[in-house]
A = this chain, B = another copy of it.
Amino acid sequence: MSFRIRRLAIIGVGLIGGSLARALRERGAVEQVVGCGRDAANLQRAIDLKVIDEATHDPLAAVRGADVVVIAVTLGATGDILARIAPGLGPDTLVTDVGSAKRCVIDAARLHLPQGCARFVAGHPIAGAEKSGVEAARSDLYEKHRVILTPMPENLPAALATVRAMWETVGAEVFDMDAGLHDEVLAATSHLPHLLAFALVNCLLDLGKPVNVFDFAAGGFRDFTRIASSNPAMWRDISIANREGLLAVCDRFEVTLAGLRRALEAGDGVALEAEFGRAKAARDAFLQRKAAS
């Protein structure tokens, strides 16, 4: 049996929401898509690109009559959106989200959905780019990418199964994970690297050297700091939403960095080479698994 949504509401028609709509449409898995956002020009662009069929600025209007609602706004706006759509959700409407932190979204859903969370499934597609906006949306964004769902005890098994089927339809590999573990893992693999990249660029900006240090940066610096070109408001929201997880892994990182520093101060080449080699081996293995998957 093929997966099909009659009416899909995308709240926040950016890279993530737009790519999902495009991917479902390209696979014939959705009939109508209504897009909701604040930026009229972006919504018009989404209609022109055939990412959505209808547009509205009103989240409540967007969800009326929808089978599936996907909340794809920044984390800071998620609670407000949940509160605003709650009165418009039908008895069978399924709601899911794509936020990069999950404990805060679960807390917000429990707070703002008086009907409860039987049909609210928290999710996170691990995909994206430093680009944003519907123009960057691609129907293949989720192919071979991972999507983490963080089931809640209240969730109906059928609701979980539908959200899983939606992501599998667009080519993703779906994993279930505890929300707390999700937040710790993503703090490590995504949120901390962003914090470090932003910090490195600012550190260089403030060095006060008599030359522009960026003029003497090469490809390694370009790649290392690619994520420092990410959207500042989005990363403000993610950092604050996952503050606890991010601070915890930041503590761990500082311990690791302090260890390298001590080896460096001692001129301990054996320890440095061992630590660098350990990192290289793990990173090379990560690449190989990526290539094989």
Where the two chains meet, the residues of A that have a C-beta atom closer than 8 Å to any C-beta of B are: 76, 126-130, 145-146, 148, 175, 177, 181, 184-186, 188-190, 192-207, 209-211, 213-233, 235-237, 239-240, 243, 246-247, 249-250, 252-257, 260-261, 264-265, 267, 269, 272-280, 282-287, 289-290
Further 13 A-B residue pairs, CB within 8 A, beyond A185-B209, A198-B280, A250-B257: A181-B209, A188-B203, A190-B220, A193-B200, A195-B264, A202-B279, A203-B257, A214-B282, A222-B290, A224-B227, A228-B279, A236-B269, A246-B264
Given contacts A228-B283, A272-B239, A277-B232, contact A126 B194 (CB under 8 A): no
Nearest CB on B from A186, distance (A):
7
**CB-CB < 8 A to A184: which residues of B?**
207, 209
CB of A282 within 8 A of CB of B201, answer yes
Q: Which residues of B contact A146 (CB under 8 A)?
A: 215-216
**What is the distance, in angstroms, from A247's C-beta to the closest C-beta of chain B?**
6
A62 to chain B, nearest CB (A): 26
A219–B290 alpha-carbon span in the complex (Å) = 10
A-B contact pairs, 30 of them (CB 8 A): A126-B216, A126-B218, A128-B219, A130-B220, A181-B211, A189-B213, A189-B216, A189-B217, A189-B221, A190-B218, A193-B200, A197-B224, A198-B275, A200-B253, A201-B279, A202-B256, A202-B278, A214-B282, A222-B290, A223-B224, A224-B226, A224-B227, A229-B284, A230-B276, A232-B272, A232-B276, A232-B280, A243-B265, A247-B261, A250-B257
Least CB distance, A213 to chain B, in whole angstroms: 5
> Are A198 and B239 touching (Cβ within 8 A)?
no
| Majority secondary structure, A binding face | helix
Q: Are B188 and A236 in contact (CB under 8 A)?
A: no
A139 → B minimal CB distance (Å): 17
Q: Measured between alpha carbons, how far is A218 from B210 in the docked complex, in Å?
A: 37
Chain B residues contacting A276 (CB-CB under 8 Å) are: 198, 228, 230, 232, 235-236
Closest B residue to A211 using CB positions: B185
Q: Choose among B128, B206, B264, B280 the residue that contacts A239 (Cβ–Cβ < 8 A).
A: B264
Nearest Cβ on chain B to A265's Cβ, whole angstroms: 7
Contact of B289 with A232 in the complex, beta carbons under 8 Å: no
Q: Which of A216, A277, A284 neighbours the largest number of chain B CB atoms within 10 Å of its CB?
A: A216
With A and B bound together, what is the CA distance between A145 and B221 in angstroms? 14
Q: Are B283 and A229 in contact (CB under 8 A)?
A: yes
Give every chain B residue within 8 A of A206 (Cβ-Cβ).
252, 256
